[in-house]
Structure 1
Amino acid sequence: MKVTGDQALVKKINKSIVLHTIRKHSPISRAKVSEMTGLNKATVSNLVAELCNEQLVTEAGPGISSGGRKPLILHFNSMAGSVVGIELGVKQITAVLCDLGGGILEEIHRPLDNHQLPHVLGEMKGMIASLIATAPNTPYGIVGIGAGVPGMVDENGVVLFAPNLGWEMVELRALLEKEFGVPVTVDNEANAGAQGELNFGVARDIRHLLYISAGAGIGSGIIIGGELYKGARGYAGETGHMSIEADGQPCSCGNRGCWELYASEKTYDQPDLHLPARTTPELVRYAEIGQEDALRHFNVMGEALGIGLTNVINSFNPELIVIGGTLSVARDWLIEPLQRVVAERTLPYHKQQLQIIFSELGSRGAMIGAAFAAVMHFLGDTRVTL
């Protein structure tokens, strides 16, 4: 198929390239932007002038001279606007107000023990409104809201199926846009977490990444060739519902033996266990003082995480796996059994140069990634795919 574009489209693409080059690499000179993008200096100067007029880029200087006049240095104006990122979890809702560069300005948390839509929507609206009220005065104000949810989401922001919430066909984007009058992006929380790690965490510049969101359930954000992979209809990454036990426990999704039944916080609810606590932070405190039941349970969970990871490693051959979500605080007790199982079971060529690390963003990764999706919707990312 032939792809054609007029001069206006070419300019739009080039402007997007220049803006995102400055966003990623500022402070940066015009000459460096020209070198990195392959655009000639005159084109870069004209596009930078437009971006400065739009208050998305600022100039400061002078920079270091290589022999001639000292150049002015370009900065991405992260305070041109702000966004709200919110993660809807099974046990809590967390939300942040961010600048356009991903910097956290405010953060709030609320527990969640009622999954009925009116209650959850009321809580989300209250948290978003509270953050908007604290937003600084900026040229563009609140430019968008990004939400990460534990379920399957379509391209229209409809939550098709969220088994851990008991939701089906919830038009979340439309409901929030009607309330706040700004663009809303909605995605699976693991996809949001992958974007958070790729842009602000330990996975920057990684081309082939698996982000594992481990908490009340398990989901995966898959980055292939530097791009988020969503599958044919946008639902890829539901690895928490792959079977690791053929005749295992029944799951709320309708399957049996799902990975998240053995490697997530769902394991705490098993009645035959003698755990000293039923939440990850509390179990971590017991593990820190050497309580045997807590240590034993984290070891079993780590092994189960390793079994599931072996399957996704053999399937996707990533260069990096980042484990985030609320279970990331238990890293010290999960990492050894997890890595031992992966070493024993993974195909030898797949584990060469593979790194498995826990997120430095921790449980914040998904809401930061959701906020980033709202930023990108505002800034635009115009490209041509052949």
Structure 2
Amino acid sequence: MEVYLDNNATTKVDPEVFKAMEPFFCDIYGNPNSLHKFGAGTHKKMVEALDYLYSGINAADEDDIVITGNATESNNTVIKGIWVDKILNGNKNHIITSEVEHPSITAVCKFLETQGVSVTYLPVNEEGILEAQQVADYIKEDTALVTIMWANNETGKLFPIKEIGQICKDAGVPFHTDATQAIGKVPVDVQACNVNYLSFSAHKFHGPKGVGGLYIQKGFEVTPLLHGGEQMGGHRAGTVDVASMIGMGVAMKLATSEMALAYENNHVRKLRDKLENAILEIPETIVIGGKENRTPNTTLISIRGVEGESMLWDMNQKTIGASTGSACASEDLEANPVMNAFGSDSELAHTGVRFSLSRFNTEAEIDYAIDVIKGAIARLRSISSSYAYTPKNHVSEL
């Protein structure tokens, strides 16, 4: 049996999405900016896809949703655009973010620091909680942007986006959120949460890879990352990948319907909890960040005495896909900064394994995964030169 439990990395394309995309490769292929009937036919379907995107995040008609290559491009567009608009050409020089953002946020912020920009990286506590008041405490007169993710990609922890949005609105500071891991898992409402910019990627909610979106609220313009033609209202030059845009629109429609979100919150959560609880029956296993306030599909579990990558190897031999909480950027097995930020000790920082489910997982798959995981833990601990079980260390949450 093959079991895919790495859906926070990417998801399979929903068959309904693939079916909707097919005509736009060979049948409906006109450039949507062309005036002839071939372009008009394409343009009509693009407008329909945009409607699905607007509805999925409750954007207002006067707002903009820019089609990008992915959330990484969207994040870069906002942060570098703010840098040009409010820092290079304004009197602002400060950005607020968190210590556990996706690299497409932190890497840009690190780059801007080399250009003289001041960046505040807000910490999270051992439960992965970022208090909204932390944002309020660090906003200054020269704060150009606050960028905080909606849901963490490794733990699934949800941040207080609505409260942060209100704080930023009251302070007159633009607010951006990377909602890549939230869409299709929890309700996302840009109007209710006072979000000015929002990023997402289609392949995280069963759409195609290579296409994403950037929501821009009316009145919050940003200098484009790509200059050229007037596509996307001048926000992003270049001919749009029509088939992928259509696929993203349909995927958004399917993922954000009331029925889909209810299924995620009930069925997917039930499967996640079954897997998680079975692993936690094993001594000295913990859920990083605890069980509360998470997306319903994600768990990051640390297994003392078992290197995350060794665990992935064993699971892969039994055709189970997951991901590690350890970033092997060097021979020194550099610990994942997210786990460090959560207060994990030096040993546990290398032992995390992330399981992320989707609506396509079945209970039979989870039963199989549980058997394989238990066997792998037993085997790897039996050959470990450093692991020795001590009952007093058996806890279920960190």
Q: TM-score, normalising length from structure 2?
A: 0.30
> Higher relative CO (CA 8 A, sep ≥ 6), structure 1 or 2?
2
Higher strand share: 1
Q: TM-score, normalising length from structure 1?
A: 0.30
